[in-house]
């Protein structure tokens, strides 16, 4: 149907979601001279999850966005790591990944990206109720909870695994792994003694990971099959989350228990990990008219190989490059020609990203099965497929998304 006449704002590019990918996409467009607005439903910038590990491919993208140098000063360089299996009294040193690896505080990453954007780019407390395409022009119109409309030439959905934009494109809903994770930060006023390494400790079905961010700050997580959680939902109250984490790791070494016991309550979060199935990424539609998706809205995946945030940063660089190239050749007021060129630019973006995120999502999907499935046979089959398809498990960190 055609839209009834109504007062509305008009913007060339609207990004839905003010998380890492949404802000990075806005920054990529800004660097290329393209103006956008970011609609974030929360009243504050979102920085859930404590810390985020970033491997070499993520730092290449951050350098293209012009924020790599600033962020490097906020985190120590990691020198590798250790896997410790308590049940078997074994310890395995993890080979150092070639290139740069650091763990950042999510709030530092979010704030840095936001600070680089022009004033007025981010609109907090702006939740999108619905997205429709005009039956004649095929351009998108957004309805906000406040009752106002925004007419846009381009809409980019960066609003996570339950994206309304992904629904509009017909992408199948994201699914839940049988894996949950509790995350937090611990501050040591007088400095901690942890080496600059990732430590992963496993006992039975419970895994704990710890990464230093600075000499005073440690990011930690507890990963576990969801059947070990009490009730149908994760707790939301930070005190309850902390109590649950401490109960789960009570038989772990005392230094692990102490780190979580000393953690900052306001950093605590519990999440049921989600994923978009690899076959949905292979076959799904990622562009309809001048609407597309990026980040978790396109390819939400587990954190098992540290590529969720990194792939969203790559999306931002590629999308900024493809859109700027498409729109640089637009002249005059020929609306039809302009839309055609924008669609071609978005198609190029989807083409460049589809196989990349398909590979990452397949790896994380298989690892998620290995970690969360209660069936030993299923774990063995998934492990066999993983070895056959991905002989070099670290190759994804050498990827370069190219120049902005």
Q: What is the pLDDT of residues 151-170, one digit of tens each?
A: 999 999 999 988 999 999 99
At residue 8, the pLDDT reads: 81
Residue 394 binned pLDDT confidence (cut-offs 50, 70, 90): confident
Q: Is the pLDDT higher at 75 or at 338?
A: 75
Question: Does residue 287 surpass a pLDDT of 60?
Answer: yes
What does the pLDDT average to over 166-188?
A: 93
Sorted by where each starts, the structural domains of the chain and their CATH numbers stand as 8-47+106-175+276-398 (3.50.50.60)
Of the candidates 183, 9, 18, the one whose C-alpha atom is nearest the C-alpha of residue 105 is: 183
At residue 134, the pLDDT reads: 81
At residue 155, the pLDDT reads: 97
Q: Strand 217-225 relative to strand 269-275: parallel, antiparallel, unpaired?
A: unpaired
Question: Does residue 20 surpass a pLDDT of 60?
Answer: yes
Question: Does residue 348 surpass a pLDDT of 90?
Answer: yes
* Least confident stretch, 130-134, 229-233, 314-318: 229-233
For residues 115 and 110, give the distance between their C-alpha atoms in angstroms, rounded to a whole number. 9
At residue 3, the pLDDT reads: 45
Taking the CA atoms of residue 284, residue 288, residue 293 and residue 297 in that order, the dihedral angle to the nearest 10 degrees is -50
CA 310 to the chain's CA centroid:
7
57-91 per-position pLDDT tens digit: 999 999 999 999 999 999 999 988 888 888 766 66
**Are 322 and 346 within 8 A, CB to CB?**
yes
* Least confident stretch, 15-29, 42-56, 114-128, 181-195: 42-56
At residue 4, the pLDDT reads: 47
Residue 93 binned pLDDT confidence (cut-offs 50, 70, 90): low
Handedness of CA 259, 260, 265, 269 (dihedral sign): positive
Residue 229 binned pLDDT confidence (cut-offs 50, 70, 90): low
Question: Strand order of the sheet with strand 206-212?
Answer: 90-94, 81-85, 198-203, 206-212, 217-225, 175-187, 269-275
- Dihedral class, residue 33 (left if φ above 0, else alpha if ψ from -120 to 50, else beta): left
Question: Does residue 203 surpass a pLDDT of 70?
Answer: yes
23-49 per-position pLDDT tens digit: 999 999 999 999 999 999 999 987 666
Count other C-beta atoms under 10 Å from residue 287's C-beta: 17
- Where do we find the tokens 């990452």? 360
Q: Is the pLDDT higher at 128 or at 89?
A: 128
CA angle (16 as vertex; 21, 150 as ends), nearest 5: 150
Q: Could you say which DSSP state residue 170 is in?
A: T
At residue 12, the pLDDT reads: 94
218-228 per-position pLDDT tens digit: 999 999 887 77
Residue 321 tokens, joined:
């490059």
At residue 375, the pLDDT reads: 87
At residue 1, the pLDDT reads: 39
Question: Does residue 233 surpass a pLDDT of 80?
Answer: no
At residue 96, the pLDDT reads: 53
Question: Does residue 244 surpass a pLDDT of 50?
Answer: yes
Residue 271 binned pLDDT confidence (cut-offs 50, 70, 90): confident
């Amino acid at each position: 149907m055609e839209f009834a006449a109504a007062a509305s704002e008009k913007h060339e590019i609207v990004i839905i979601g003010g998380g890492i990918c949404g802000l990075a996409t806005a920054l990529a467009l800004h660097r290329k001279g393209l103006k956008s607005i970011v609609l974030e439903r929360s009243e504050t910038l979102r920085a859930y999850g404590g810390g985020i590990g970033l491997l070499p491919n993520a730092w290449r993208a951050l350098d293209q966005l012009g924020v790599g140098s600033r962020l490097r000063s906020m985190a120590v360089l990691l020198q590798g790591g250790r896997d410790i299996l308590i049940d078997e009294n074994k310890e395995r040193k993890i080979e150092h990944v070639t290139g740069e690896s650091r763990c950042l505080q999510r709030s530092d990453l979010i704030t840095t990206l936001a600070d680089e954007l022009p004033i007025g780019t981010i609109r907090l407390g702006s939740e999108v109720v619905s997205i429709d395409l005009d039956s004649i022009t095929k351009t998108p119109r957004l309805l906000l909870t406040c009752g106002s409309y925004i007419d846009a030439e381009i809409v980019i959905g960066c609003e996570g695994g339950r994206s309304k934009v992904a629904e509009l494109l017909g992408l199948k809903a994201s699914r839940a792994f049988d894996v949950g994770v509790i995350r937090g930060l611990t501050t040591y006023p007088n400095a901690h003694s942890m080496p600059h390494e990732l430590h992963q400790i496993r006992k039975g079905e419970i895994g704990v990971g710890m990464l230093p961010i600075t000499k005073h700050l440690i990011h930690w997580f507890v990963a576990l099959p969801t059947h070990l959680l009490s009730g149908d939902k994760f707790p939301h109250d930070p005190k309850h989350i902390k109590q649950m984490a401490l109960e789960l790791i009570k038989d772990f070494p005392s230094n692990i228990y102490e780190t979580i016991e000393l953690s900052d309550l306001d950093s605590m979060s519990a999440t049921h990990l989600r994923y978009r199935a690899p076959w949905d990424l292979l076959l799904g539609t990622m562009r309809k008219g001048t609407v597309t998706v990026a980040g978790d809205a396109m390819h939400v995946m587990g954190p098992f190989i540290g590529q969720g945030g990194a792939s969203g940063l790559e999306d931002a660089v590629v999308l900024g490059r493809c859109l700027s190239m498409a729109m640089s050749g637009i002249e005059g007021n020929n609306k039809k020609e302009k839309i055609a060129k924008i669609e071609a630019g978005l198609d190029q973006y989807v083409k460049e990203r589809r196989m990349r995120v398909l590979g990452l999502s397949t790896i994380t999907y298989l690892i998620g099965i290995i970690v969360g499935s209660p069936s030993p046979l299923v774990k063995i089959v998934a492990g066999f497929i993983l070895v056959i398809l991905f002989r070099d498990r670290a190759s994804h960190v050498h990827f370069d998304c190219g120049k902005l």
